[in-house]
Amino acid sequence: MGNLLEVNDLTIKFRTAKATSTAVRNVSFSLEAGETLCIVGESGSGKSITSLSLMGLLPENGEVSNGSIRLNGEELVGKTEEELRKIRGNEISMIFQEPMTALNPVFTVGYQIQEPLRIHKRMSKQEATVKSVELLKQVGIPNPKEKIHQYPHELSGGMRQRVMIAMALACEPSLLIADEPTTALDVTIQAQILDIMDDLKEEFGMGVVFVTHDMGVVAEIADRVMVMYAGDVIEVNDVQTLFEDPKHPYTKGLLGAVPNVDDETQEMKVIPGSMPSMEDDIPGCRFHPRCPMAMDICKEKKPALIDVGKENAAVRCWLQEVDTNADTTIAASGG
């Protein structure tokens, strides 16, 4: 079976008053049905822009300048807004950090869940009402029959986030894109919502692209992880290997920045320095100004993203190239 989502060599540029800058460079990844890929990185890494491009929702001054995004084999790059609208909310859904931006304040919660069902699934009003109550129940909202008559401002932040998930799931999309959906919530509600998403993923067999800067959340929900830095993919691996044996110095830094929940005295380690902006032209490895391991070559030549032994595992770092070459040399001389 083919992949649910195939992104190949995706490059995204932004026009600013002065120039055109590259926000995301040559990103490739794939996703199977029922799989969760976490895209992680600090703010400015290109993770949100990558996820927005999947839905054709880049800001006005941004564009996919190269590459391909295929959903179930169908090319999405180059589709018109009208064509994309049919796909959004039906085959692809998205949930955001702030539910108030996605919910319409003048319509009841029930209406907003029922609308996509009536448009995309051609349900009758009655069928859509039954389904919306069922969905609210699935995302853990008490008294769903009453809640459908309420307006977004009458609900708490956690309840609104659940409503947004119910809306996103209404048409049983094959792909769910979530951009920091739990960041604004307190820890208990965050954990509940991640659990609900995980259950629903199993139930519907959706593929999930989950954007976050929080490695604790990644540990909780990811099958695979793609780490981005300043517009580049710098490491990809399955979640267990990435946590046990991170190879890129930036990934190591991010993991060092995960606070240990059992030890309240432990300070959160922050990687010194800050992410360059997309206008900054940094030669060589874009992480080198912050990298504790930087070598001379790192300042001059950009390392390639190279495979590390198995499918869907790769690292972009000169240290890794040195390692791999050493292995090859040993293998060659030994044989």
Binding site for Mg ion (CB under 5 A): 48
291 binds, among Mg ion, ligand SF4, none (CB under 5 to 8 A by kind): ligand SF4
Question: What is the distance between the alpha carbons of residues 285 and 187, in angstroms, rounded to a whole number?
Answer: 36
- 184 or 295: CB nearest ligand SF4: 295
Backbone Cα Rg of the chain: 21
Nearer to ligand SF4, 100 or 319 (CB): 319
What is the per-residue DSSP string for 37-49? EEEE-STTSSHHH
CB of 216 to ligand SF4, least distance (A): 23
217: closest CA among 229, 206, 208? 208
Q: Is 39 in the site for ligand SF4 (CB under 6 A)?
A: no
State the binding partner of 120 from ligand SF4, Mg ion, none, CB within 5 to 8 A by kind. none
Per CB under 6 A, contacts with ligand SF4 among 235-254 are 248-249
Contact flag: residue 317 with ligand SF4 (CB under 6 A): yes
Q: Identity (one letter) of the amino acid at 317?
A: C
Size of the site for ligand SF4 (CB under 6 A): 14
Binding of ligand SF4 by 41 (CB under 6 A): no
For residues 109-128, which are near ligand SF4 according to CB under 6 A? none
Q: Which does 48 bind (CB under 5 to 8 A by kind): ligand SF4, Mg ion, none?
A: Mg ion
Residue 208, C-beta contacts closer than 8 angstroms, at least 6 positions apart: 35, 36, 37, 175, 176, 177, 178, 197, 201, 221
Q: Does 228 bind ligand SF4 (CB under 6 A)?
A: no
For 92-143, the three-class secondary structure string (H helix, E strand, C coil) is EEEECCCHHHHCCCCCCHHHHHHHHHHHHCCCCHHHHHHHHHHHHHHCCCCC
Minimal distance, residue 308 CB to ligand SF4, in Å: 13
Q: Which is nearer to Mg ion, 98 or 238 (CB)?
A: 98
Count the residues in the chain. 335
Q: Is 236 left (phi over 0), alpha (psi -120 to 50) or beta?
A: beta
Binding mask 287-316 for ligand SF4 (x = CB under 6 A): xx--x-xxx--x----x-------------
Which tokens in the block code for residue 327? 């292995």
Based on the shown chain and the rule CB under 6 A, indicate whether residue 229 belongs to the binding site for ligand SF4.
no
Q: Which does 303 bind (CB under 5 to 8 A by kind): ligand SF4, Mg ion, none?
A: ligand SF4
Min CB(317)–ligand SF4 separation in Å? 3
Query: What is d(CA 290, CA 273) in angstroms, rounded to the nearest whole number?
Result: 6
CA distance 61 to 1: 37
Closer residue to ligand SF4 in complex, CB, 15/269? 269
> Interface with ligand SF4 includes 130 (CB under 6 A)?
no
Is residue 330 close enough to count as binding ligand SF4 by CB under 6 A? no
Please state the three-class secondary structure of 18-29 as a single string.
CCEEEEEEEEEE
Residue with tokens 């490895």: 285
Q: Candidates 184, 219, 313, 319: give the one binding ligand SF4 (CB under 6 A).
A: 319
Q: How far apart are CA 92 and CA 87, in angstroms?
A: 6
- How many Cβ atoms are within 10 Å of 108's Cβ, its own excluded? 17
The residue ranges that bind ligand SF4 (CB under 6 A) are: 248-249, 285, 287-288, 291, 293-295, 298, 303, 317-319
